[in-house]
Chain A
Amino acid sequence: MMTILPIFQLIVLSNAATNEVKEVKIILLDHDLSEISRNLTRKITASDHFKLTGSLFSKKQALEKMQANEADIILEIPNRFEKEFIRGEKPAIQMLVNAINGQQATVGSGYLRNIISTYSQDILSEVHWVPQSNHSSISISTRYWYNPLLKYTDFMVPGILAELTALLTIVLTAMNVVREREIGTIEQINVTPIKKWQFIMGKLIPFLCVGMFIMTVGLTVGKIIFHIPMAGSLILLFVYAFVNIIAVLGFGLLISNFADTQQQAIFVAFFFILIFILMSGLFTPIESMPTWAQHLTKVNPLAHFIAVSRKVLMKGSGFVDLTSEFAYTLILAIVFNVSAIWSYKKQE
């Protein structure tokens, strides 16, 4: 196992953890519906970095989609765009970028800007009836939504906070139980009529308190030192953290059932922790991962934790926007803990 795990890690991570962004979700608000604007749309959708998730006419609707995480970028083409372009009046295309996800936002909007400016140069040759005018060009105004100044700490700190909380609790539980196995105290417990679920609960509850405490300290530090935004309900975030910590603790306990020594426990815990972190969306946006890797993130409690803490703190998302994260995390919590109870052996 000691050799298979790192090899697995090498394969999975080098494919999934990429700097490239893919499938940036775009919503188009084309108020002009002219030939030039349609051609531009075609150029954008032809690129495999982008995925057109809707063509709408109402900005309000488009923003709602962004709130629901169905759009990374809203591209708004004003009416009279074609006319102004031909007259050389430099019409402005507006780009609204969902900056909750730093990389998707900066890299994605960079790509898009590139496509648009290339297009504005090519336009003259492609659209034949356009009269020759050297002044014709397109200007782009960009606005970053949810993180207007694209502050790195604003999207990293909530993510790192979620990460630290999850990791510390995984390691602490796994180590704690294995340490008892090494010292021998667990034998004195196993010789009592204690039920397996009681033992697991006995380990879960204290570490759940530790986890919630870490979370509280982290949020406070984030607020005081990094001035992270707190747009949404902290209660909602804590309720979610409660479920998530139960899930990761279950995972830690599961690891402890298969380790005889603390070294083994650490090794296995760190193997999973590394995968959890690198495939959590903390660095590489989940949308940019290959599809199979995106499916893997569904069983990664950390990915959900990071998504929720960013959405709640930066976007002010409410419970309805987080139902899928809540559902997956709840399922993980149940699966991990039931497996931990089930695989705990009172008898050798």
Chain B
Amino acid sequence: MNSYSIEVENLTKKFGEFTAVDNISFKVAKGEIFGFLGANGAGKTTAMRMLTGLSKPTSGQGTVAGFNVIRDHEKIKTRIGYMSQKFSLYEDLTVRQNIRLFGGIYGLSNQEIREKSETILHDLRLSEVSSKLVAALPLGWKQRLAFAISMIHDPDIVFLDEPTGGVDPFVRRQFWEAIYEAAGHGRTIFVTTHYLDEAEYCDRVSIMVSGRIEALDTPTNLKKQFNASTMDNVFVKLVR
């Protein structure tokens, strides 16, 4: 077994003439928190959708959780969790019903679903609102619930697409604590963000510009390489 949870070579996605993701190659180690940075429209979501089996690569190769992204995309899905950029739990179901639904889809037994429900409700302090519709929750709570549900089947890798978009700094902090806790259990975290300060929380980051990966290293090394004091400066220098 190799020690990478994600390995990608020359992955490309075209929409007609337009190349949204242009020949990207990288490796992510097991248990790593890998930040995927880039401005809006850089191609982060498109790249992530190829890795999660939601989108068929135009060309290139890769493995995710040991499975081939071209051939075995349905097998990949058993080993990964995904939290989309657009909130996508069922707003017209209650908190508990959402947990039940996704637990069931991932093939958990009733017993496991019951245990998971209690753990999630307890950890997120959602017990009191467990029979409220998800629509009624504040955005920060929804995001944390979506994150917890994306890990209901104990995946090896979790893909988070701008999980902290639009939430206040306090909830962002909470969210990153949750990410650390998940990574602490040996899970690989693949997270996109356009908050550059969040890059500092990652083990390594890649910076994407117009579909290409223009830089990839630890935050410390990147700052050294670009002779910058913050990731913000790295980004500015890179884009210019």
Question: Taking beta carbons and an 8 Å cutoff, which residues of A are in contact with B?
Answer: 183-185, 187-194, 346-348
Contacts and interface: CB of A to CB of B under 8 A. Distances in A.
Contact of A184 (B73, B74, B86, B106): B86
B104 to A, nearest CB: 10
B188 interface: no
Interface stretch (B76-84, B136-144, B208-216): B76-84
Nearest to A348: B55
Interface string B83-121: 010111111000000000010011100000000000000
A191 to B, nearest CB: 4
Given A184-B87, A185-B88, A185-B90, A191 B56 contact: no
Contact of A187 (B56, B73, B88, B105): B88
Given A192-B106, A347-B55, A187 B77 contact: no
B106 A191 contact: no
Q: Which 6 A-B pairs have the closest CB atoms?
A: A184-B86, A188-B88, A191-B82, A193-B77, A184-B88, A193-B78
Interface residues of B, number: 24
Interface string B50-91: 001111100000000000000001110110101010111111
Nearest to A188: B88
Q: Which of A185, A187, A188 has the most chain B CB within a 10 Å cutoff?
A: A188
B53 A347 contact: yes
B55 A191 contact: no
A72 to B, nearest CB: 51
Contact of B54 (A183, A185, A190, A194): A190
Given A183-B88, A184-B84, A184-B87, A191 B53 contact: yes
Nearest to A345: B56
Contacts of A192: 77, 102, 105-106
B54 A191 contact: yes
Q: Which of A187, A192, A346, A347 has the most chain B CB within a 10 Å cutoff?
A: A192
B21 to A, nearest CB: 13
Contacts of B88: 183-185, 187-188
A193 B106 contact: yes
22 contacts: A183-B91, A184-B84, A184-B87, A185-B88, A185-B90, A187-B86, A187-B88, A188-B84, A188-B88, A188-B89, A188-B102, A190-B54, A192-B77, A192-B102, A192-B105, A193-B74, A193-B75, A346-B54, A346-B74, A347-B56, A348-B49, A348-B54
